[in-house]
């Protein structure tokens, strides 16, 4: 079936209202859960073939991550769907006010390569819970995962309700021209702009989960060994191919040497030379791009690279903003370290950059915490940790400015894929004539009193 015909068929199915009742949504979430559980080994093998993630990462950041989200969505769906009573002002006496979440219609989810399963399915959970029909376009760079999702999701669901479309960039370009009721895109800022422009032609609302350079600040009060371990964890998870990975470190000059030693210690402990725990870089083209970001004279620490598509954890020091590694989002296992003398200078510099998706601060100082979190704008982040805010479904996840538009996770995913229809219900027991023209002086003086 052509993409246009699939889209038309989904719209027609949506218009039958089949997807709206609670029972249908719950049943579809259960089907998604069962499909993933039944073929879990195959999904994990596919993701492994694409990125060589360790068994821990395969479960914690891909399959296990979304199974938990499905469980929680099923648990809370009834509550999320409840029509909510709102307040009504006194002058509207005789009326009651409500908010009702309704599905948007037929939506498109476009995924990136780095968490090729989780980043598609996590959004899908919200789209299903909210009662939409869905077309999914996974990344073509992770072709094993793309094929496994197409095979099992397309077998489990009717294409008029949910379908996985595979193909290259031309396929994505064809999809984004269609008048979807929402496009949920995860990927680079550059492609996000292309998606946004195409969506604008149809006035299609978008969620754009984008990337950028996420800073990490380590001040002189920080507990260095803990900071180093948590930074190394967040940076080298999936070999740095994580949208919220610490992109670069700003460390206070007085503790730079001690902090670098702790970084080295943590890397050697977590990723010894023969480790299987370090993911592959998605393609040789990406590997070449990453190699080009390294200035060999500034390398503080690296290892022998193991295997063709691997890149060793690398730390660079004496880095400045004119280095190549600071000109673009790194998205790989290279960690540049810059230094600062006062927090104000860091804040001024970060403010001059596009607003980041994440920001991390390592400190024991409450004043530093307050200053950084009040003065800097970023999607989300953590004090004395990296990455983990993404795993809390009670926190909305998303960027700001160049790092994205819109949020999801937990109930926020349901809200993202819903329209909260606002309406009032008015009594017919009375109908004061004073509200209607022709208006006399009494009506004018009454409206002045009421709206005062
Ligand atoms: P990408 O933007 O290259 O690709 C994402 C999707 O866009 C793919 O499905 C691809 O088919 C499509 N695409 C690529 N070029 C296109 C074009 N010219 N026209 C139309 N569609 C096109 O992103 P990627 O390389 O797969 O992922 C890495 C980026 O994604 C990083 O910037 C990262 O920070 C970001 N990211 C963000 C989040 C988040 O949650 N905010 C999560 C993961 C990744």
Mean pLDDT (whole number) for 326-341: 98
pLDDT higher than threshold 90 for residue 447: no
The residues annotated as belonging to the active site are: 209, 243
Tell the residue nearest (CA) to atom 14 of ligand 1: 169
Tell the residue nearest (CA) to atom 6 of ligand 1: 112
Tell me what pLDDT residue 281 has: 96
Verify whether ligand 1 is closer than 6 Å to residue 194 (CB atom): yes
Verify whether ligand 1 is closer than 6 Å to residue 238 (CB atom): no
Verify whether ligand 1 is closer than 6 Å to residue 169 (CB atom): yes
pLDDT higher than threshold 80 for residue 98: yes
Atom of ligand 1 nearest to the CA of 139: 9
Atom of ligand 1 nearest to the CA of 140: 11
Q: Cβ(356)–Cβ(215) under 8 Å?
A: yes
Question: What is the tens place of the pLDDT at every residue in 120-136?
Answer: 999 999 999 999 999 99
The structure's pTM equals: 0.96
Question: What is the tens place of the pLDDT at every residue in 167-225?
Answer: 999 999 999 999 999 999 999 999 999 999 999 999 999 999 999 999 999 999 999 99
Verify whether ligand 1 is closer than 6 Å to residue 331 (CB atom): yes
Verify whether ligand 1 is closer than 6 Å to residue 211 (CB atom): yes
Q: Mutate which of 115, 138, 167, 191 to test ligand 1's pocket (most atoms within 8 Å of Cβ)?
A: 191
Q: How far is the CA of 329 from the centre of ligand 1 (A)?
A: 12
CATH superfamily of 215-398: Aldehyde Dehydrogenase; Chain A, domain 2 (3.40.309.10)
Q: How far is the CA of 208 from the centre of ligand 1 (A)?
A: 10
CA triplet 348, 353, 358: central angle to 5 degrees?
A: 100
Question: What is the tens place of the pLDDT at every residue in 272-286?
Answer: 988 889 999 999 999
Residue 66: C-alpha distances to residues 13, 107, 191, 321, 408 (Å): 26, 19, 25, 38, 13
Cis, peptide link before residue 438, omega less than 30° from 0: yes
Q: How far is the CA of 310 from the centre of ligand 1 (A)?
A: 21
Verify whether ligand 1 is closer than 6 Å to residue 243 (CB atom): yes
Q: CA-CA distance, 141 to 52, in Å (whole number)? A: 14
Question: What is the tens place of the pLDDT at every residue in 41-88?
Answer: 999 999 999 999 999 999 999 999 999 999 999 999 999 999 999 999
Verify whether ligand 1 is closer than 6 Å to residue 357 (CB atom): yes
Q: CA-CA distance, 166 to 143, in Å (whole number)? A: 9
Q: How far is the CA of 213 from the centre of ligand 1 (A)?
A: 15
Tell me what pLDDT residue 429 has: 96
Say whether domain 3-210+403-421 belongs to CATH 3.40.50.620.
Answer: no
Verify whether ligand 1 is closer than 6 Å to residue 418 (CB atom): no
What residue ranges do the domains of the chain occupy? 3-210+403-421, 215-398
Query: Strands 404-405 and 334-340, how do they pair?
Result: unpaired
Mean pLDDT (whole number) for 337-348: 97
pLDDT above 70 covers a percentage of the chain that reads 100
**Residue 278 has which token pair?**
């370090």
Taking residue 2's Cβ as centre, other Cβ atoms within 10 Å add up to 8
């Amino acid at each position: 079936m052509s993409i246009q015909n699939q889209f038309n068929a989904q719209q027609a199915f949506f218009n039958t209202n089949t997807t709206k009742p609670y029972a249908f949504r719950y049943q579809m979430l259960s089907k998604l859960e069962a499909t993933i559980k039944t073929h879990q080994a195959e999904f994990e093998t596919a993701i492994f073939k694409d990125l060589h993630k360790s068994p821990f990462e395969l479960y914690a950041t891909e399959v296990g991550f979304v199974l938990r989200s499905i469980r929680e969505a099923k648990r809370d769906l009834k509550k999320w769907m409840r029509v909510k009573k709102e307040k009504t002002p006194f002058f509207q006496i005789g009326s009651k006010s409500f908010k009702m979440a309704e599905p948007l219609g037929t939506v498109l989810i476009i995924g990136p390569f780095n968490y090729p399963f989780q980043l598609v399915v996590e959004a899908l959970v919200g789209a299903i819970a909210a009662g939409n029909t869905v077309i999914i376009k996974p990344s073509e760079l992770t072709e094993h995962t793309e094929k496994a999702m197409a095979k099992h999701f397309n077998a489990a669901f009717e294409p008029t309700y949910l379908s996985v479309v595979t193909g290259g960039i031309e396929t994505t370009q064809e999809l984004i021209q269609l008048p979807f009721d929402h496009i949920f895109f995860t990927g680079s800022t550059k492609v996000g702009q292309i998606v946004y422009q195409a969506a604008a032609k149809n006035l299609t609302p978008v969620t754009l989960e984008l990337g950028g350079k996420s800073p990490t600040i380590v001040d002189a009060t920080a507990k260095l060994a803990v900071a180093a371990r948590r930074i190394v964890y967040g940076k080298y998870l999936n070999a740095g191919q994580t949208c919220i990975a610490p992109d670069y470190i700003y460390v206070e000059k007085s503790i730079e040497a001690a902090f670098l030693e702790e970084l080295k210690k943590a890397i050697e402990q977590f990723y010894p030379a023969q480790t299987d725990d370090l993911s592959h870089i998605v393609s040789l083209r990406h590997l070449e791009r990453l190699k080009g970001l390294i200035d060999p004279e500034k390398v503080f620490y690296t290892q022998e690279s193991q295997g063709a598509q691997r890149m060793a954890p690398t730390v660079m020091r004496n880095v400045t903003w004119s280095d190549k590694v600071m000109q673009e989002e790194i998205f790989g296992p290279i960690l540049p370290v810059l230094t600062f003398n006062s927090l104000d200078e860091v804040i001024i510099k970060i403010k001059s950059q596009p607003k980041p998706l994440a920001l991390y601060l390592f400190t024991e100082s409450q004043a530093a915490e307050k200053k950084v979190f009040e003065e800097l704008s970023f999607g989300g982040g953590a004090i004395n940790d990296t990455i983990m805010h993404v795993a809390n479904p009670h926190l909305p996840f998303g960027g700001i400015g160049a790092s994205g538009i819109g949020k999801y996770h937990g109930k926020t995913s349901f809200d993202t894929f819903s329209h909260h229809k606002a309406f009032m219900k008015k009594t017919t027991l009375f109908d004061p004539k004073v509200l209607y023209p022709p208006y006399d002086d009494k009506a004018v003086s009454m409206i002045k009193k009421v709206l005062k």
